[in-house]
């Protein structure tokens, strides 16, 4: 392999690695969004449970 071919191969490998890192960051961000949504849903369910409990209390 010529020096130019080796440099081109290294450039392509580096570009591929950057692409994989970017895709990993996107997946991690999506996971964080899912975790936030799950946490929000848990809080809403807890709020609804609290409302049910409050509605059964006789004043």
Taking the C-alpha atoms of residue 17 and residue 23, their distance in angstroms, rounded to an integer, is: 10
- What is the reported pLDDT for 13? 98
Question: Which pTM was predicted?
Answer: 0.71
Q: What is the pLDDT of residues 13-56, one digit of tens each?
A: 999 999 999 999 999 999 999 999 999 999 999 999 999 989 88
- Answer whether residue 59 shows pLDDT above 70: no
Res. 1: pLDDT tops 90:
no
Looking at residue 55, its pLDDT comes to: 85
- Residues 7-42: b if buried by 16+ CB within 10 A, e if exposed: eeeeeeeeeeeeeeeeeeeeeeeeeeeeeeeeeeee
Sequence-distant (≥ 6) Cβ neighbours of residue 1 within 8 angstroms: 9
């Amino acid at each position: 392999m010529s020096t130019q071919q080796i440099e081109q191969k290294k450039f392509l490998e580096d570009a591929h690695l950057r692409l994989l890192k970017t895709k990993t960051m996107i997946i991690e961000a999506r996971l964080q969004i899912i975790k936030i949504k799950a946490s929000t849903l848990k809080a809403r369910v807890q709020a609804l449970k609290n409302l049910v409990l409050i509605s059964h209390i006789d004043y």
